[in-house]
Amino acid sequence: MSLEQYIKAIEDSNIVSKTNTDGIITFVNDEFCKISEFSREELLGKSHNIVRHPDVPKKLFEELWETIEQKKTYKNTIKSISKYGSAIYLNTTIIPILDEENTIVEYIAIRYDVTKEIRSTIHKEELEQALKEQKSLFMQSRFASLGQMLANIAHQWRQPLSELNLVLFSLKKAAEKQDYESLGNYYKKSKELTKGMSKTIEIFSDFFNPNKIHQKFHLTVAVDDAIRMIKTDLESVGIEIETYLEDIYVDGISNELTQVVVNLLINAKDAFIQQDKHRKASIYKVLKKIHIRVSKSYIGTKSYALIIVEDNAGGIPPKDIDKIFEPYFSTKHASVGTGIGLFISNLIIQKSLQGTIEVINTDNGAKFTITIPLKEEA
């Protein structure tokens, strides 16, 4: 094979350019024009900086020139920019060409395109970073709920503890009188009370368990757990809960669905509190209600589980309703809300349950609808 054939083979299979010792382009092959989107006329006589990407640090080019001016070959993957602004990643080898007197007369650069591979790596890194951020937000949401949950445990234990104290006192009196029938009844009552308190702890422990697995679970139980956790807190500000719960099983992580419902209930409670502040001067008392419905719906041949949480707390300001699922957006005061509860709820419904969550304003308040596709059963 002749020298000309070797040169043609290199030019046909690589991206080739030549510059003089000042970095002015003296030659480009067709592949260079194709990937840079410049014509040959636009490139010849111009500085090679014409394809230099602004993201590339100045230090890299200082190292490049220092290397080739010492008559050494420079190799690196360099990010360049096309005529129309596209980023190009090129594996680049720059070789100084010397004359008979060992003086540099020009530089030849041979490149091949690795843009697809680099973009794939960048996309993977960005995806991993996004997943880390989502996990961080998820944990923030859990910790933001922790204080609320601990307060609810205190609320829910206060009454049974007082009742248990009375039962134990009565148990002692019955023992002193040797009233065995009453003794048995008081003993049974004390076991019921401690069992109820233990159930509260189980629910709260399950809620904060990070190792729950993806499996089929009873939707009504997950919703009922959320109600049980927050009910005492809601009742303390005069909120009634009405429920209609059908027996439905879905695939996902039960405590994550519980977290979504808890977030919706806490938001409704805060809306009622805000509403009360505006009505301080009013003589009218509004009956505060949250209605929760779990039912099955059909669209064509496909079936869905619906969870509807509706309140009469006045609704969401129309200017904010399209933003409430965005991270760090909140209609509450900074001391009350973090702005990540609904963002995390939306994330859970989409990622864990492959469903959707939507909100509309009704005549009296806000209505959240969670739609979860159900798998076909044999």
Rg (CA), the chain: 35
Q: How far apart are CA 346 and CA 205, in angstroms?
A: 23
The CATH 3.30.450.20 portion of the chain extends over 3-113
- Alpha-carbon 93 to chain mean position: 42
**How large is the average pLDDT for residues 60-68?**
90
pLDDT category of residue 118 using cuts at 50, 70 and 90: confident
Which residue is listed with tokens 């005061």?
Answer: 333
DSSP classification of residue 374: P
Query: Among residues of the chain, what percentage have pLDDT more than 70?
Result: 77
Backbone phi and psi for residue 264, each to the nearest 5 degrees, phi listed first: -65, -40
Q: What letter represents residue 43's amino acid?
A: L
pLDDT (0 to 100) of residue 146:
58
pLDDT (0 to 100) of residue 325:
81
pLDDT at 158 over 60: yes
Strand partners, 217: 250
Inter-residue contact 240 to 208 (CB < 8 Å): no
pLDDT (0 to 100) of residue 210:
59
pLDDT digits (tens, 9 = 90+) for 37-49: 999 999 999 998 8
The CATH 3.30.565.10 portion of the chain extends over 124-373
Residue 72 vs residues 14, 17, 64, 69, 368: alpha-carbon distances, Å: 21, 17, 10, 7, 67
Q: What is the architecture, at CATH level 2, of domain 3-113?
A: 2-Layer Sandwich (3.30)
H helices of 237-374, in order, are 254-278, 341-351
DSSP 52-120: B-TTS-HHHHHHHHHHHHTT--EEEEEEEE-TTS-EEEEEEEEEEEE-TTS-EEEEEEEEEE-HHHHHH
Q: 133 or 321, which is more confident?
A: 321
Token pair recorded at residue 49: 């900086």
DSSP classification of residue 117: H
pLDDT (0 to 100) of residue 335:
43
Residue 341 vs residues 256, 266, 321, 372: alpha-carbon distances, Å: 12, 10, 15, 19
Beta-carbon count within 10 A of 316 CB: 19
Q: How far apart are CA 266 and CA 149, in angstroms?
A: 11
Does the pTM surpass 0.85? The reply is no
- The CATH homologous superfamily to which domain 124-373 belongs is Histidine kinase-like ATPase, C-terminal domain (3.30.565.10)
pLDDT (0 to 100) of residue 138:
63
Inter-residue contact 310 to 365 (CB < 8 Å): yes
Inter-residue contact 347 to 134 (CB < 8 Å): yes
